Amino acid sequence: MFRSAVRRVQEYLKPWRNFNEKSDEGHTKYREEIALGSPPWHLVKMKIAETVTFGGSGLDRAAELRGDVQTLKADPRARAVPVWRGKPMLEEDALVRVPLDHSVMQDAATDMVFLGREDGAPVFAADLSAWVPDDLDDASLDAFLDPSEQQHPAYPNGVFAEIRAIMTRLSPRDAELAATAKAVMGWHVTHRFCARCGAESKFAMGGWQRDCAACDGHHFPRTDPVVIMLITHGNSVLVGRSPGWPEGMYSLLAGFIEPGETIEAAVRREVFEEAGVRVGHVTYLASQPWPFPASLMLGCAGDALDTTLNIDPVEIEDAMWVTREDMALAFTGNHPKLLPARKGAIAHFLLEAWLADRLD
C-alpha cells in the first residue's frame, strides 16, 4: 500500500523532475543554449512560474486603443465573451466568443469591457447579468463555490459557469480573459459612485476607467496585493486552516499587504500574527491574479526561525507543520487526515514546486 503511494508521488512529480534534470546540468548547459541561440535558461525558468493558473498568456491588451472603442466595435472581426453575473460562457471547456451581432447579445449591456486583441481582432466582455434564466436557483449562486450552470436560449451549446469550478480546464488565454473580465466587471458593480464626491460616475475607456462628471475625478480598477507564503523549517512546511473549511483542508498562510508595507514585511507580520512564528529570509517566487474579487496573490518563500506555534484563534482555526513526505502523500489523495491543496490556486502550485525541490 505504501509502496504504491510512493510510486504515485513519483509519477505525479515526473514533469517537474524533467525540469530538474535540465537545471542540474547548470551553467555549461546555459552557455551552450546561448551559443546555439535557443531560449536562454532564465526564460525556461520563467515559464515554470507562469504555468500557475491565471499566470498570463501574453494577451495583447492594446491599452492604447481604449480611447476609441467605437472603432473597435465597428471592426467586423470583433468578438464578445458573454458573461453573466461574473460567470463566463463556456462551450466544451473553451470560452465562447460571439460576433457582436449574435442574437445572445440582445441581452448584453451597451458598455462592454475591451479585453484586448487576439490575432488583431478586438475581444470584449459583454455583461448579460440583466438576463433572468427561467429556472434560476438563487441558493446555489450564493454558495462558496457555485456549482450551478445557466444556459441562454440564444446559445444552447454554452453554459455560464463559475470560474473557480472550471479554471484548471481553461487554456492560459481563456483563463486570462475570464479572470480579467470578472475582475473589471466586478469593480464596476462595486464602484458606481465617485470616491471623491459621491456622484454617480460613468463607464469610460473600454471599462478601464470610471469618470466623474461632477468633480472631474478619474477612477481606475484596483488590484489588492496579497502575500501567500511557503514557510519552511528544515523538511517541513507551515500550513493553516480557516473556520468553515472542509475537514482536512489546510493551505499556506496568506494576508493582505498593508499600506506602507513591503512584500517581505507583510510575509513576516502575517505569519507572526497568525501562527506566532518569526520568519527570517523571504524571497518572491510567483504571482497569480485572483479575481475573487480583486486580488493579486504574491507567492513567497520564507525561512522560519523556530517551529513553536502560537495560534491566533481570531485569524485562523489551526496551523501545523507538515513534512515533505506527508504533503506528498496528501497530494496523491492518500493521506489519512490531510486533503490535497486545491488545484488551480497558487498554494497548490507553490507546494508542488516545493515537493519537487523547484523553488528557485
Give the residue with the Cβ less far from Zn ion, 214 or 305: 214
Q: Residue 220 CB, nearest distance to Zn ion (Å)?
A: 14
Give the residue with the Cβ less far from Zn ion, 34 or 214: 214
Give the residue with the Cβ less far from Zn ion, 47 or 218: 218
Give the residue with the Cβ less far from Zn ion, 194 or 254: 194
CA dist 360 and 350 (Å) reads 11
Q: Residue 203 CB, nearest distance to Zn ion (Å)?
A: 15
Q: What does the radius of gyration of the chain's CA atoms come to, in whole angstroms? A: 23
Q: Residue 208 CB, nearest distance to Zn ion (Å)?
A: 18
Q: Which of 186, 184, 188 is nearest to 85 (CA)?
A: 186
The letter for the amino acid at 311 is: I
Q: What is the β-pairing status of strands 209-211 and 202-204? A: antiparallel
Note whether 67 and 208 are within 8 A (CB): no
Q: What is the β-pairing status of strands 121-127 and 79-84? A: parallel
Q: Which of 237, 309, 235 is nearest to 274 (CA)?
A: 309
Q: Residue 216 CB, nearest distance to Zn ion (Å)?
A: 7
Q: Which three cell numbers stand for residue 254?
A: 496568506
Give the residue with the Cβ less far from Zn ion, 46 or 215: 215
Give the residue with the Cβ less far from Zn ion, 11 or 200: 200
CA dist 254 and 271 (Å) reads 8
Q: Which residues pair with 244 in a beta bridge?
A: none
Q: Residue 204 CB, nearest distance to Zn ion (Å)?
A: 13
- The burial class, CB within 10 Å (0-12 / 13-18 / 19+), for 130 is exposed
Give the residue with the Cβ less far from Zn ion, 59 or 204: 204
Q: Residue 170 CB, nearest distance to Zn ion (Å)?
A: 37
Other CB atoms within 10 Å distance of the CB of residue 271: 25
Q: Residue 194 CB, nearest distance to Zn ion (Å)?
A: 3
Provide the binding-site residues for Zn ion, judged by CB under 5 A.
194, 196-197, 199, 212, 214-215, 217
Residue 260 half-sphere exposure toward CB, CA atoms < 13 A? 0
Residues 6+ apart with CB under 8 A from 76: none
